[in-house]
Structure 1
Amino acid sequence: MSTKTIGKQRPSGAEYASLQTQFSRYDRTTFSGFVYDRADLGRRYTVELLVDGEPYMSSLCDEFVTELADAGIGDGRFGFTFNVQDEVGANAGIIEARLANIGSAVGVPIRCDVAAPDAQWHRIGEIKWAGGLRFEGWLAQDIDEDIEILIAQRPVMTVKPTGWTNVARGGEFGVGRRIDFHLPEHFADGRVRGLSARTVSGRSVISEPIAFVAFERGLEQTIAELGRWDSERLRGQLFDQLLPASVPFHTYRSWKERFSPAIESDVPSEAAVVLIGEARLDESIESLEAQRHAAWSAVCLPARGFSRFDPTSAHEFIDGDAASSAFFVFCLSGTILAEDALQRFADVFVSEPGCDLVYGDVEVAAGAGAVWPLAFPAFDLERALEQSYGAYCFAVRRERAVEALRSAASLYDIFLSCVEPERTYHLPGAVAALPGIDAPTATTELVAASEAYFARAGVEAHVEPRPAGLLPAVRVKRVVDWNERTTIIIPTRNRAELLKRCIETVLPAAHETNARILVVDNNSSEPDALDYLEGLSDDEIDVISVEGPFNFAAINNAAVDCVDTDNVCFLNNDIEALDDGWLAEMLWRLAAPDVGAVGAKLLWPSSVVQHGGVVLGANFSAAHAFNDRMDGDPGYGDLLQVAHECSALTAACLLMRKRDFLAVGGMDEVRFPISFNDIDLCLKLRQLGKRIVFTPDAKLVHLESASRGRDSAPDRKARFGHELSMLRAKWGEVLLDDPYYSPLLGLDSTPFSSLAWPPRSWKPRANLPPQPTAPPIGM
């Protein structure tokens, strides 16, 4: 039960006679309160926390306190929050707060062994500008109210919090109600405005208006259209990179009308269209008759199941009506092709001589006449094997198509037999609207097609059906050579309780896979941590010491130097395993020789997703995907249900081969000592042609930054800013064009949750290795 002790006390002396204070305990480890001077509301105090009379930590009183703001007391930013370690909260006798350098009490001391009424944290929510017309934030879980949005103090809309998000309260994690909205488009007029927010009952959600500015087509294009100086376009481009604009998915129809790919002159080639099945055939034929590409022929192959067909009819078509075709388009009967689909496919084959297969984005029906876009990545082999996402509307050059039709027996079979990663292209923008899918039958056919792919490649693997999401899906398990050993590397400093819990939960997986654990101690000084480390050394767990300031990259590099196993698994000490099979699942993925690293699905203790892969480009940086989803949510395009490739993954749980780690020079200790070393590491692996795979079937809990604190802390901001600058300098071009993230999706702080406004590109994309531009050391 939460305990609370609230008191107001005036320090002695006339100087502090107008001081108002409060101190309370929110939960076992979180303490909060406020301090303000009625006579000087512009003053900010520093508060020190004492545990049983000994100083523990200090904090500046500048957090927003809703009840103070609502009472008209200054700007309401007089609050503070402390989070103590678990053992402190459990074992302390008295915890008190005092003004730093003054010693006057803040509120009254709290006896930890005495229960008190439930406390309420002094923050009820938060909203931040995400760029363009988008704003994101959270509202306390226990506040069941809508939010009123005001511009220049005038109400413009009411927002209903939907979904859930993780909320950090001190160092604890909880669930908040997610706030995510876009302002009406008429506010994108280049004027600077201020946004305020309050609950419908009148409680303030933010302390002061949020300044924002948005442009209808981005600042760069606005400057260009106005004929301003070319020198200013660079400034506009940087603004759009840092604060990209977006619109919500439900505006897709109007977005599509406003933005469309440029239509090139018609190329003189003939398309052969293969429709599989007979359902809603008239609708497909009608969409073919409306094509801008003049020359085409089509055949309908009766389906045997979902997309299986008799190849005899296909051979007759190849030698008959399609004898002069340059390329073949494959889709299900009932597919409604976009009027420019055949022309865009033809353009790709003309402009990209190295392309043999091209697939496009698709649209899916969502009920009540709504249509939603499925924007795909550049070619992703792992996702193709598990979901065959590009198989629903794709085009293949004649030679490859004819070859595939001689042996393929289903739509999935044709797709997987024709793909070669370096010769497979993605065409951004919907080329077709999909018909309904018979998920059980389709899943059976997908299992067979993936098994056939592995048989052709000479790879031993098991393919199992998954429960269908938006699309049918399977689970791939490659056979692992269990003679290869793995070392789990866990860096640590103090925080014995975190390390102990981590080791206890990951040991079963280590036993199951014959892995070892290496604990890397970096200057632990607390007696309980030293005692625990001393007792760890046995046949299963080794302990080494790496001295010096905390440098995550250097610590892991030193650890790898001490390892003699084939594989290494980097693991934070604030990770907790949820089952015993997570490491085996990651090893099944690493068994593919072209996979360079494998990452896991990580959750906050609140069950909100903390890591679902990394997306490059968000706010000209990198962002974890699906922080807006709870565990169990399928994610956009079912990406939290199927294994897929990413440009990068977090090193909080990252498996790779030792030889690959050494081949790229390990982690960069100089440019990225704390942050982005994992992003840099993954991009270096991709530079060598390696694939980076995320698997949702390895699932663990991550108390993110519990062990070392947050990068937003004042003493870390400068260092974090420098490392972010280094990331942009070295990988800037890559950040602007993540092959695994569609240029039609928004690049604000929550990937896969909005449409880019405007789209960044409609050009066909191949999945090519990234190329860095490494600045000299010290620059």
Structure 2
Amino acid sequence: MDRLSSMSTSSAATDSLRCAPLPAKSFEGARFFRPEGRPADAASSAEARAGSTAVERRRSLFQLRRLEEKLARARAENTELARRLEAIETSTFWRLTAPARAILARYPLARLAIRSPFRAARELGVWAWRKSKGQSADRYANWIAENDTLSDADRGDIRMAIAAMTERPTISIVMPVFNTPQRYLREAIASVRAQLYPNWELCIADDASTQAHVGRVLAEFASDKRIKIVRRARNGNICAASNSALALAGGSFVALMDHDDHLPEHALYEIAAEILAHPHADIIYSDEDRIDDKGRRSKPYFKTDWNPELMLGHNMLSHLGVYRRSLIERIGGFREGYEGSQDYDLALRAADATQPGAIRHIPAILYHWRKHKTVVSFSEQQLARCTAAARRAIADHLERRGLDAHVEPHPQLSSWHRVVNAVPDRQPLVSVIIPTRDRADLLRQCLDGILRRTDYDRLEVIVVDNDSRDKDTRQLFAELLTSR
């Protein structure tokens, strides 16, 4: 079969072809509260549906109030900008400089000529710094202020929504601890105790810490009956410690939390609301970001909904990850020998043991991952070991699924992973469709890459010409057709 064919179309026909852009996650595009209208599962009871509807109604009120606040701020800013613009345009300076502005607008080179090279270089450097450092940090800080900061009214509405819940599932937070710096351990526990949703228990396993302050801090919180603590007789590493903490859990769902991280106060409320809205969910995960020693947040990860292919590149569930306890018990908890990637291994095995529809994503940042300047985490100290454990977990997943594939390092990101599927004995035909109009240089480059730099043989290229008029393009078509 020929690998190249050509087709000409009218402009009208080609205009009907559209490439729909993928929805990109961005600060502006992300939302703190989720929209109403998510359908309850068919098997849920009428009472559960009524409770779910009440929760969704409260969420709608949250979102409406936040939009009203943003609209009021935008109107105030617009009024102030209009006032400033009027003051500028009616000033004497503006009238006197009108001829100069006309020249600069008409001749772009004049604008450059009036600046010195030094000043231009300096301004370029400032712009580049702001673009790479300051501006992105400011944008996220602004996004947090507008979309991810609770007001007292929000807290009141959340408490009313919790009071209206027909069921309140208990969420067990599993936290293995080992020689955690005192401040971070206190802050992690305090963030759990500050949750607006009250039906939780914190299950802590001290993995035989050698620093005395760990035992003292844990003893201070032992009076809270919702906090369960066990001290292991010997150090067994994070998998053994996580299983010890898991053994304390009595809730129907289990949330995983590191010993120095931070939960925002509405995190468990969002989890509980998701459970009520989707009672057959087995795995729930949220978006996340980083937090430093000064409480500054950065590096948000606005995740996609469940994506099994992306999951094989890195642990997209990660934090905040919540699992039905019976599911974790059925798959045997954490497997020793996968330290550093034990949560990745757990997530893959849990996903294999349930259905894609039972894996739910909450599009809100419900977890702040601690970013240290001085304290080095296990995964940072033992990066090679953690990466190897992750690849073993992926290889196990491929074997469980009966897939003819292998895992290897990602070509650009060595700590990420790439799964390569075996090509079937009878290779399927791949059709590459290229719409074009003139620009022979771009088309030639594209065809060269497909036809001469691709190591897959069974493909065909279909060039759809949208009434090209350029002589070089017509000549390229002729060359291609004669060389087939």
State the TM bucket, normalised to the shorter chain.
0.5 to 0.7
CA distance in 1, matches of 2:387, 2:235: 11
1:186-220: CA deviation from partner (whole Å, max 9, x where unpaired)? xxxxxxxxxxxxxxxxxxxxxxxxxxxxxxxxxxx
Gap change, CA 1:358 and 1:464, over 3 Å in 2: same
Alignment of 1:101-140 (within 5 A): none
Shift of 1:161: 1.7
Which amino acid counterpart does residue 249 of structure 1 have in structure 2? Y
Q: Counterpart in 2 of 1:613?
A: none
Alignment of 1:212-291 (within 5 A): 248-251=139-142, 254-255=145-146, 256-258=148-150, 263=158, 264-265=161-162, 268-276=168-176, 278-280=178-180, 282-283=185-186, 284-291=188-195
Q: Counterpart in 2 of 1:414?
A: 346
CA distance in 1, matches of 2:134, 2:390: 36
Kindly indicate whether the alpha-carbon contact (under 8 Å) linking 1:302 and 1:309 is maintained by their aligned counterparts in 2. no
CA distance in 1, matches of 2:254, 2:417: 27
Which residue, 419, 434, 445 being the options, matches 1:476? 419
Q: Counterpart in 2 of 1:428?
A: 363
Shift of 1:391: 1.7
Q: Counterpart in 2 of 1:143?
A: 120
Which residue, 35, 59, 72 being the options, matches 2:100? 72
1:576-612: CA deviation from partner (whole Å, max 9, x where unpaired)? xxxxxxxxxxxxxxxxxxxxxxxxxxxxxxxxxxxxx
Shift of 1:484: 1.4
Gap change, CA 1:531 and 1:431, over 3 Å in 2: closer
Shift of 1:411: 0.9
**Which secondary structure state, in structure 1, belongs to the residue aligned with residue 318 of structure 2?**
helix
Shift of 1:477: 2.0
Which residue, 234, 258, 272 being the options, matches 1:332? 258
CA distance in 2, matches of 1:519, 1:305: 64
**Which secondary structure state, in structure 1, belongs to the residue aligned with residue 303 of structure 2?**
coil
Which structure features the higher share of strand residues? 1
Shift of 1:449: 2.3
CA distance in 1, matches of 2:450, 2:428: 19
1:223-250: CA deviation from partner (whole Å, max 9, x where unpaired)? xxxxxxxxxxxxxxxxxxxxxxx97113
Shift of 1:366: 5.2
Which residue, 448, 451, 459 being the options, matches 1:515? 459
Query: How many residues are paired up?
Result: 326
Gap change, CA 1:349 and 1:369, over 3 Å in 2: closer
Kindly indicate whether the alpha-carbon contact (under 8 Å) linking 1:416 and 1:449 is maintained by their aligned counterparts in 2. yes
Q: Counterpart in 2 of 1:674?
A: none
Gap change, CA 1:407 and 1:459, over 3 Å in 2: farther
Which amino acid counterpart does residue 201 of structure 2 have in structure 1? W
Kindly indicate whether the alpha-carbon contact (under 8 Å) linking 1:279 and 1:333 is maintained by their aligned counterparts in 2. no
CA distance in 2, matches of 1:70, 1:143: 24
Unaligned runs of 5+ in 2: 1-96, 209-233, 337-341, 372-376
Gap change, CA 1:498 and 1:344, over 3 Å in 2: closer
CA distance in 1, matches of 2:132, 2:110: 18
Gap change, CA 1:180 and 1:310, over 3 Å in 2: closer
Q: Counterpart in 1 of 2:325?
A: 398
Which residue, 223, 239, 247 being the options, matches 1:309? 239
Q: Find out whether 1:451 has 2:351 as its counterpart.
A: no
Kindly indicate whether the alpha-carbon contact (under 8 Å) linking 2:207 and 2:236 is maintained by their aligned counterparts in 1. no
Kindly indicate whether the alpha-carbon contact (under 8 Å) linking 1:271 and 1:328 is maintained by their aligned counterparts in 2. yes
Gap change, CA 1:122 and 1:474, over 3 Å in 2: farther
CA distance in 1, matches of 2:410, 2:177: 24
Which amino acid counterpart does residue 127 of structure 2 have in structure 1? P
Shift of 1:412: 0.9
Deviates more, 1:513-522 or 1:414-423: 513-522
**Which secondary structure state, in structure 1, belongs to the residue aligned with residue 248 of structure 2?**
coil
Kindly indicate whether the alpha-carbon contact (under 8 Å) linking 1:160 and 1:179 is maintained by their aligned counterparts in 2. no
CA distance in 1, matches of 2:472, 2:106: 36
Which amino acid counterpart does residue 326 of structure 2 have in structure 1? E
Gap change, CA 1:279 and 1:424, over 3 Å in 2: farther
- Give TM-score scaled by structure 2 length: 0.55
Q: Find out whether 1:537 has 2:464 as its counterpart.
A: no
Which amino acid counterpart does residue 380 of structure 1 have in structure 2? N
Unaligned runs of 5+ in 1: 1-68, 80-119, 125-139, 148-158, 165-176, 183-245, 542-779
Shift of 1:388: 0.9
**Which secondary structure state, in structure 2, belongs to the residue aligned with residue 332 of structure 1?**
coil
1:17-49: CA deviation from partner (whole Å, max 9, x where unpaired)? xxxxxxxxxxxxxxxxxxxxxxxxxxxxxxxxx
Shift of 1:352: 1.7
**Which secondary structure state, in structure 1, belongs to the residue aligned with residue 100 of structure 2?**
coil
Alignment of 1:766-777 (within 5 A): none
Gap change, CA 1:334 and 1:121, over 3 Å in 2: same
Shift of 1:76: 5.3
Alpha-carbon RMSD? 4.3
Which residue, 285, 298, 306 being the options, matches 2:203? 298
Q: Counterpart in 1 of 2:127?
A: 161
Which amino acid counterpart does residue 285 of structure 1 have in structure 2? I
Shift of 1:434: 1.6
Q: Counterpart in 1 of 2:306?
A: 379
CA distance in 1, matches of 2:421, 2:119: 46
**Which secondary structure state, in structure 2, belongs to the residue aligned with residue 282 of structure 1?**
helix
Q: Find out whether 1:504 has 2:448 as its counterpart.
A: yes
Shift of 1:273: 2.1
Which amino acid counterpart does residue 274 of structure 1 have in structure 2? V
CA distance in 2, matches of 1:431, 1:379: 17
Kindly indicate whether the alpha-carbon contact (under 8 Å) linking 1:360 and 1:426 is maintained by their aligned counterparts in 2. yes
Gap change, CA 1:509 and 1:388, over 3 Å in 2: same
**Which secondary structure state, in structure 2, belongs to the residue aligned with residue 275 of structure 1?**
strand
Kindly indicate whether the alpha-carbon contact (under 8 Å) linking 1:510 and 1:516 is maintained by their aligned counterparts in 2. no
Which amino acid counterpart does residue 357 of structure 2 have in structure 1? E
Which amino acid counterpart does residue 408 of structure 2 have in structure 1? E
Q: Counterpart in 2 of 1:492?
A: 436
Which amino acid counterpart does residue 287 of structure 1 have in structure 2? S
- Give TM-score scaled by structure 1 length: 0.36
Q: Which has the higher contact order (CA 8 A, sep 6+)?
A: 2
Gap change, CA 1:462 and 1:268, over 3 Å in 2: same
Shift of 1:145: 4.8
**Which secondary structure state, in structure 1, belongs to the residue aligned with residue 169 of structure 2?**
coil
CA distance in 1, matches of 2:132, 2:259: 40
CA distance in 2, matches of 1:527, 1:509: 26
Kindly indicate whether the alpha-carbon contact (under 8 Å) linking 1:461 and 1:479 is maintained by their aligned counterparts in 2. yes
Which amino acid counterpart does residue 353 of structure 1 have in structure 2? P
Shift of 1:380: 2.7
Which amino acid counterpart does residue 161 of structure 1 have in structure 2? W
**Which secondary structure state, in structure 2, belongs to the residue aligned with residue 433 of structure 1?**
strand
Gap change, CA 1:181 and 1:537, over 3 Å in 2: same
**Which secondary structure state, in structure 2, belongs to the residue aligned with residue 390 of structure 1?**
coil
Shift of 1:300: 2.6
1:644-703: CA deviation from partner (whole Å, max 9, x where unpaired)? xxxxxxxxxxxxxxxxxxxxxxxxxxxxxxxxxxxxxxxxxxxxxxxxxxxxxxxxxxxx
CA distance in 2, matches of 1:317, 1:181: 42
CA distance in 1, matches of 2:237, 2:318: 11
Which amino acid counterpart does residue 343 of structure 2 have in structure 1? L
Gap change, CA 1:359 and 1:352, over 3 Å in 2: same
Gap change, CA 1:178 and 1:276, over 3 Å in 2: closer
